[in-house]
Amino acid sequence: MFSAVTNYFSEFKLLKNVSREFWLTNAIQFFDGVAYFSMITVLTLYLTTNCGLNDVDSGEWVGYYTLFITAFVFAVGSICDVIGIKKSYYIGFGILALARIGMGLFPVFLKGRELHWTVMAMLFLLSMGTAFISPVTMTCLRRFTTKATRPTGFNMNYLIMNVGAIIANAAVIDGFRKMWGEVYGNLAIFIFGFAMSLCALGCVTFIREDNYADDSERSDGRNENKRPLAIFLEVWKERAFQKLLLFLVLTIGVRLVFTHQFLVMPKYYTRVMTTDFELGLMNAINPTIIVAGLILLIPVINRFSTIKLVIFGMSISAFSLVLLAVPLDWIMKFPLIHNVTQAYLFIIVSQILIFALGELIFSPRFQEYVASVSPPDKVSSYMALSVLPTFISKPINGFVSGILIFRYCYDGIRPKIETGNIDYGHSPEFMWLVYLILALMSPIAVVALRNFITHKTPPVIPATAQEGGIQ
């Protein structure tokens, strides 16, 4: 294990000669990550507490938000390839700043339907701004790293993203909500996100987008006179993209578990536990494990092929939902568990630990893989179109989550659980059984179609998979 840690940090020596643009990109990722993770965790609570929506409507609105993101990503990916990195960042963060400050202030001055329509407009802008950031960041990471430094660069980026998630959950969410209470604490989180957008914009001004780390990555100029729609259609017809798309479709079930963290978990935690349950502290466990795991395990798991890691990691993450779906009476029989509160705390923490292990194994490979198989002049387009599977699945998950919470994890369910006046078919555990079945479909589908997926792999293979190969 010591040698593994030593080897891991020796990899980071490769980054000592990377350009300032690489570090500016990571700083941008950090500022935006802190804002995003703090906002997304309280979004459903914000819509209910600050805007007066019920469970079904708040879930539906978050579904619209994710739908807008993926819809806009389709449009902006090819636009970013045409207008460049800095302009894309300026547009994206400018829109995010406007949306975040609006969501932080409007509930103070507006009420009723006027507030509802205004917040919906802000969610629309929020999704548009978010759509610009991800494909451009992935383009930056590829452009500002060489083939030798790219695997370590993506590991570093993923590590920094999770450090931001830790700060967002453990410091920002719990800190603001304790300081100003739930109502004003939620508003303060959005205003804080506005400040983070300004910090990110400051970093963007110092980026030299033509400072390629590898001259072979330079575009041949074919896209300069093309319309974004033409690039969009070209990418859609490419065999490498079609194979990548199928691979991503088969992973939808488990990847949707990530959306449960902000769609379902906040209300689940506060309703089966207590209303003042420390959401931020609990949500900080996952990224903390990711950061520690990246340091300890990445040199080990990089020795295995991508497809093996995906199957294994997805299986672990899907299995994490088993504990949530087990009847509470079974958990109550475990040693050292004497009441409902202890039982749910054990369930929640155990699920987070198991899911984080699975995420650590398979998640870091996705973004690098997409960025690596795409042509140098179409990275943003590939990144944008690769979200097609979630274009359909995330909004559906948003709508379904609101209905399931309303039926199986409604406000006031805890007293019924305490008195045993609720059967399994009407309990929160049944809700998780539904999600467990959906999650298990991903590893099963990948195993069933493994030979088809991996036959004639794309010509460009990510550096971290070169040793083991995508078998």
CATH architecture of 19-211+224-465: Up-down Bundle (1.20)
Contact 54, 195 (CB under 8 A): no
Contact 136, 89 (CB under 8 A): yes
CA atoms lying within 13 Å on the CB side of residue 409: 28
pLDDT score for 459:
40
Contact 49, 190 (CB under 8 A): no
Using alpha carbons, select from 153, 150, 113 the residue that is nearest to residue 29: 153
CA distance 240 to 237: 9
pLDDT score for 463:
36
pLDDT score for 72:
81
What phi and psi values does residue 459 have, to the nearest 5 degrees?
A: -65, -30
CA distance 165 to 74: 26
Using alpha carbons, select from 224, 213, 221 the residue that is nearest to residue 143: 213
- Residue 138 makes CB contacts below 8 A (sequence gap 6+) with 367, 370, 371, 379, 380, 383
Continuous H helices in 333-468 = 340-373, 379-385, 388-408, 413-419, 428-448, 450-454
DSSP output for 7-70: HHHHHHGGGGGS-HHHHHHHHHHHHHHHHHHHHHHHHHHHHHHTT---HHHHHHHHHHHHHHHH
Structure token pair of residue 351: 């699920």
- Residue 331 makes CB contacts below 8 A (sequence gap 6+) with 323, 337, 343, 346, 347
Residue 439 gets the label, from left (phi > 0), alpha (psi -120 to 50) or beta, of: alpha
CA distance 234 to 237: 5
Contact 377, 220 (CB under 8 A): yes
By the 10 Å C-beta count (0-12 exposed, 13-18 middle, 19+ buried), 338 is classed as exposed
CA distance 451 to 190: 46
Distance between start and end Cα atoms, the chain:
27
pTM of the full structure: 0.72
How many other C-beta atoms can be found within 10 angstroms of the C-beta atom of residue 108?
12
Our CA dihedral for 13, 18, 21, 23, rounded to 10 degrees, sits at: 10
pLDDT score for 29:
92
pLDDT score for 212:
86
Q: Is the dihedral of CA 126, 142, 372, 151 positive or negative?
A: negative
Kindly give the confidence (pLDDT) of every residue in the chain, 471 residues in length, as a single tens digit, with 9 standing for 90 and above.
456 556 655 666 667 778 899 999 999 999 999 999 999 889 988 999 999 998 888 888 887 887 788 778 766 766 777 788 999 999 999 999 999 999 999 999 998 889 999 999 999 999 999 988 888 888 888 888 887 777 777 778 888 888 998 999 888 998 998 899 889 999 999 999 999 999 999 999 999 988 888 776 665 555 555 555 566 666 666 666 676 677 777 777 777 777 777 678 888 998 998 777 777 788 888 888 888 887 777 666 667 776 777 778 888 988 999 999 999 999 999 998 999 999 999 999 999 999 888 888 877 666 666 666 666 666 666 666 666 665 566 666 777 888 888 899 998 899 999 888 899 999 999 999 998 988 888 888 878 877 766 654 444 333 333 333 322
